[in-house]
Structure formats: structure tokens, C-alpha cells
């Protein structure tokens, strides 16, 4: 009899929280006039599935926020630990997707002619120092796709040290290529920094002014501090509120349209969210999975793609657990912000980041297919 009781208790524990506990889980959006709000039920989503995600989120020590948008409406929102509605979080590598957007806007404004322009066209002061002729073939497109041939900086401490100096333009010369351009995916933080420099140089303005005029002001979004202020003029990391990050996600979900305004071309959105490299991860090719749920991972123009359960999606990702997930089949955006673990790339940081990725992946996998 004792054995039966233990078995029953084990089964109940495995089943997770009951309906009563889920019903008391609060995820109602906070007051504010910057979003139209609704509820999961009103937007055709099972409230218990949402409640389960928020209940699980309570256990994550470094999570700052979890937001869910469906049918252009904010249906769930909660802040955890040191997170708060007005706090602006360092988005880490999720900033890459913003830089990608700025490249698209530079093309629209005529500052850039094509993504097939050569990288070295924008760094003429170093053209005579190039000893590897393969670098002459690298284009803006290769940088966007992480297929330039430059290595992932975390593969060697000397590369990381050079990157953290912040003096990025000269590194087009000193950093070695570890593959021919357009042959393999190799995650490269410097590719993003060089794209920021290219946009600034091509448009003869700094990245902050350009992004505010053509992207952030039209979205009704205020940027937080830029990092790194003490380094070069091509700042490539941003701070934003979680709600403002969600607006950026909605902009891409709706092919460049926000609040009825076409902020940038739908064609750029479609090109950005295509998959140009399959079965990849930050640690290299032939992986295709991140955490317990993200599978078939791919890469576009500084946007990732993956599958969780039966749902395919695009997403922006930043160290620590910054996520902007676009679920086109459900007309949904999911956002997380978290402690960014700035310059901390150890197992502890990755453990916390992966717990947030798993939280979101589990939630996505639990969602039914649209009818």
C-alpha cells in the first residue's frame, strides 16, 4: 500500500501544477497606453498553457521579463527578480537583429547600393594591408549571414581579447580567416561590429542618430544607453525595455509594418528571415540544436530560425537569455529579457541562459497547431 501511495504522489508531481494553482498565476499585463491588451482566451489561446509557462518562470533566478503578444495584442506580461516595466536591459547579441534592420534601412535610404558590395570598400584605409586575398571577396551579405570566413571569437582567448579592445575596424586585417567566404557558417561577433561601421560610414552619420531617425522614432521607442561608450563610434549593443523589444518583434512578424506604418520594406524582412545556413549553433556547424527544445536551428540575416515541437519560428538571441521569438503560424511574439552576464562566458552563465531558452522552447512546443 505504501508503494502505491508513493507511485501516486510521483505521478502527481510529474504532472506538474494543478488547475487551481495555474488559475492563481498572475500574468495580466501592467497598466500602460503603449500596447493594446487582451487575454489568452480572447485571442484563442488556452490560458492554462500560458499560466504554466509563467509558473515555471518563477523558478528562474536571472530572468527579468516574459511577454507574450498574440494578434498584435499584449496578452501576458510579468517581471521577475530585478526586472521592471521601465527597466532597459542590455540586449547583448539580440542587438545583431537591430543592426540587420539598420542595414536594410541604409539600403532603402540609398546609402548602400547592395548587400553584395565588398566589405573592404568601407575600410579603404586598410585595403593595402590585406595579405589574404580571400578577404577581398567578403561582402555585406556574407557578414549578415555569418559566412564571411572569420572565426567565432570564443575559439581562442587571443581573439576574444582583441575583440574586447573595441577598436574593431583594424581587426578586418589582423583577424585570420578560418574558411573561404560563403562556404560555412561561423558565428562572428565582429561581423556585426563591422556591419555597424559600414552603416555609419555609408550614411555619414553615427549609428545612434540613424537608428533613432529611421527605426526607433517611427516605432515610438526610446533607446537606453549605448555600449560601449568608451570605444569606437560604431556602437553595436543596445539597451531597451521589454515592451519596446516586443514592438521590434511585431515589426518583423508583420513584414515591416507597425501601427499601420511601413517602417521598412517587407522584402527586407523576408530576406532576413530566410534560412541560409542549416543545422548550426554559436558553437559551430552540424549541431542544429540548442537546449532541450530548439531543433533544426538555422541562420538568416542576423536572425536565427528553429523548430520546437510542431512550430517553426525565427528569433533574435542575446547572451544571458534575451529572446525575441516570431511565431508566424500563431501570429505571436514571445520576449524574454534577463541578466546579461556581460563578458561572462562560463558554464554558469550558459546554464542560466539555457534555462530560459528551455522555458520558451517548452512553451512553444506545448502550443497546439492553428486550426
Over its length of 371 residues, how does the chain's per-residue pLDDT go in tens digits? 444 444 444 444 445 667 767 767 889 999 888 999 999 999 999 999 999 999 999 999 999 999 999 999 999 999 999 999 999 999 999 999 999 999 999 999 999 999 999 999 999 999 899 999 999 999 999 999 999 999 988 777 777 777 777 778 888 999 999 999 999 999 999 999 999 999 999 999 988 889 999 999 999 999 887 655 445 556 678 999 999 999 999 999 999 999 899 998 999 999 999 999 999 976 654 568 899 999 999 999 999 999 999 999 999 999 999 999 999 999 999 999 999 998 888 889 999 999 999 999 999 999 999 87
In a domain, residue 57? The reply is no
What pLDDT is recorded for position 234?
A: 64
What pLDDT is recorded for position 49?
A: 96
Can you give the pTM of this predicted structure?
A: 0.92
Q: How far apart are CA 206 and CA 310, in angstroms?
A: 42
In a domain, residue 104? The reply is yes
Exposure string of 239-256, with b = 16+ CB inside 10 Å and e = fewer, is: bbbbbbbbbbbbbbbbbb
What pLDDT is recorded for position 16?
A: 60
In a domain, residue 63? The reply is no
Say if residues 343 and 250 touch (Cβ distance below 8 Å). Answer: no
Q: How far apart are CA 46 and CA 40, in angstroms?
A: 6
Residues 6+ apart with CB under 8 A from 158: none
In a domain, residue 224? The reply is yes
In a domain, residue 282? The reply is yes
In a domain, residue 132? The reply is yes
SS3 278: strand
Q: Which residue, chain included where needed, has cell 485571442?
A: 43
Domain count, the chain: 1
What pLDDT is recorded for position 153?
A: 83
What pLDDT is recorded for position 1?
A: 47
In a domain, residue 208? The reply is yes
In a domain, residue 19? The reply is no
Domain CATH code at residue 337: 3.40.710.10
Q: Which domain holds residue 165?
A: 89-366
Q: Shortest CA distance to 263 belongs to which of 33, 86, 98? A: 98
Q: How far apart are CA 277 and CA 304, in angstroms?
A: 10
Amino acid at each position: 500500500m505504501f508503494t502505491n501511495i508513493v507511485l501516486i504522489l510521483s505521478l502527481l508531481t510529474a504532472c506538474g501544477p494543478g488547475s487551481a494553482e495555474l488559475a492563481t498565476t498572475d500574468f495580466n499585463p501592467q497598466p500602460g497606453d503603449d500596447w493594446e491588451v487582451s487575454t489568452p482566451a480572447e485571442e484563442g489561446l488556452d490560458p492554462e498553457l500560458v499560466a504554466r509557462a509563467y509558473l515555471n518562470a518563477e523558478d528562474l533566478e536571472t530572468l527579468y521579463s516574459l511577454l507574450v503578444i498574440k494578434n498584435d495584442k499584449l496578452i501576458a506580461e510579468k517581471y521577475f527578480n530585478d526586472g521592471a516595466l521601465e527597466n532597459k536591459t542590455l540586449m547583448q547579441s539580440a542587438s545583431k537583429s537591430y543592426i540587420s534592420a539598420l542595414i536594410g534601412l541604409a539600403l532603402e535610404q540609398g546609402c548602400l547600393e547592395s548587400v553584395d558590395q565588398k566589405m573592404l570598400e568601407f575600410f579603404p584605409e586598410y585595403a593595402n594591408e590585406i595579405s589574404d586575398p580571400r578577404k577581398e571577396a567578403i561582402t555585406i551579405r556574407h557578414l549578415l549571414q555569418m559566412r564571411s570566413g572569420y572565426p567565432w571569437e570564443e575559439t581562442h582567448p587571443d581573439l576574444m581579447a582583441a575583440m574586447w579592445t573595441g577598436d574593431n575596424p583594424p581587426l578586418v586585417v589582423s583577424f585570420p580567416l578560418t574558411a573561404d567566404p560563403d562556404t560555412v557558417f561561423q558565428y562572428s561577433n565582429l561581423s556585426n561590429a563591422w556591419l555597424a561601421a559600414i552603416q555609419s560610414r555609408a550614411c555619414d552619420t553615427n549609428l545612434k542618430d540613424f537608428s533613432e531617425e529611421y527605426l526607433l522614432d517611427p516605432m515610438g521607442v526610446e533607446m537606453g544607453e549605448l555600449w560601449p561608450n568608451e570605444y569606437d563610434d560604431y556602437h553595436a549593443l543596445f539597451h531597451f525595455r521589454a515592451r519596446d523589444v516586443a514592438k521590434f518583434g511585431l515589426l518583423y512578424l508583420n513584414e515591416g509594418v507597425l501601427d499601420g506604418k511601413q517602417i521598412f520594406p517587407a522584402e527586407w524582412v523576408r530576406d532576413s528571415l530566410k534560412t541560409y545556413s542549416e543545422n548550426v549553433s554559436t558553437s559551430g556547424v552540424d549541431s542544429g540544436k540548442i537546449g532541450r527544445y530548439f531543433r533544426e536551428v538555422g541562420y538568416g540575416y542576423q536572425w536565427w530560425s528553429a523548430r520546437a515541437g510542431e512550430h517553426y519560428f525565427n528569433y533574435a538571441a542575446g547572451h544571458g537569455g534575451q529572446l525575441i521569438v516570431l511565431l508566424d503560424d500563431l501570429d505571436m511574439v514571445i520576449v524574454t529579457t534577463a541578466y546579461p552576464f556581460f563578458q561572462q562566458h562560463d558554464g554558469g552563465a550558459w546554464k542560466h541562459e539555457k534555462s530560459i531558452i528551455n522555458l520558451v522552447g517548452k512553451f512553444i512546443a506545448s502550443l497546439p497547431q492553428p486550426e
